[in-house]
Structure 1
């Protein structure tokens, strides 16, 4: 049976090297290049773009910029709380959902913090 007592907030998100990003105005734009074999095939037949851009909102931008490969999810939540305050509430629920979306799309990996 798998252990269930690991605290999600202790994991450290690490950005994928496959995702570039830039700051436009005050928010982050993620840039995902579609250059796998399948992506190239799909592009050839369906004229899809070579890259995909994703505009993050204020909270997403704050989270993305706080991901440095050293801070855990709890520490990132404190940065968001400090910068955005009550507008980020319900903070932990929103943060966990966003982190899971990033992970499920391979934009980040989650590592255990070495203690």
Structure 2
């Protein structure tokens, strides 16, 4: 018998890509690899092209990303987001949950107990 899917709000997200914070805005930019294949990454290096793509997050996405520390659950991150932004993020649980599902689908995070997306 298959196990029922775990509640997303009880899962702990962990980043799988590097990020940096833009000093002038305080927003997060994710450095996402173009390819997983080492040969293709080297080819892009030879062509003087960056092997990564930069994804700039908005204010809310940056706030959520910086709380993905491997200790907080998605539910706790949602509560902290609601406390910080108030009505702007309602419905907070659904919004943060959708953001995490999209990051998981794209292989940018992993959730505790889940297989890597890539």
Indicate the TM-score class for this superposition, using the shorter chain for normalisation.
Answer: 0.7 to 0.9
| CA distance in structure 2 between the aligned counterparts of 1:14 and 1:39, rounded to whole angstroms | 26
Shift of 1:48: 5.3
Query: For residues 5 and 109 of structure 1, do their structure 2 counterparts lie closer, same or farther at Cα, with a shift above 3 Å needed?
Result: closer
Moved more, 35-44 or 51-60: 35-44
Partner of residue 91, structure 1: 92
Q: Which residue of 1 aligns with 2:78?
A: 77
Q: Please, which of 14, 18, 21 is the counterpart of residue 20 of structure 1?
A: 18
Q: Which moved more, 1:100-109 or 1:63-72?
A: 100-109
CA displacement, residues 10-29 of structure 1 (integer Å, 9 cap, x when unaligned): 0000111xx11111112111
Distance 1:87 1:39 in 2: 42
Stretches (4+) displaced over 4 A: none
Q: Which has the higher strand share?
A: 1
Structure 1 unaligned spans of 5+: none
Q: Which runs of 5+ in 2 are unaligned?
A: 114-118
Are 2:63 and 1:65 equivalent residues in the alignment? no
Higher relative contact order (CA 8 A, sep 6+): 1
TM-score (norm 2): 0.78
1:46-94 superposed Cα distances (whole Å, 9 cap, x missing partner): 8753210000011110110001101111111011111111111121221
Aligned length: 110
Structure 1's 93 and 21: CA in aligned 2 closer, same or farther, altered over 3 A? same
Q: What is the TM-score of this pair, normalised by structure 1?
A: 0.80
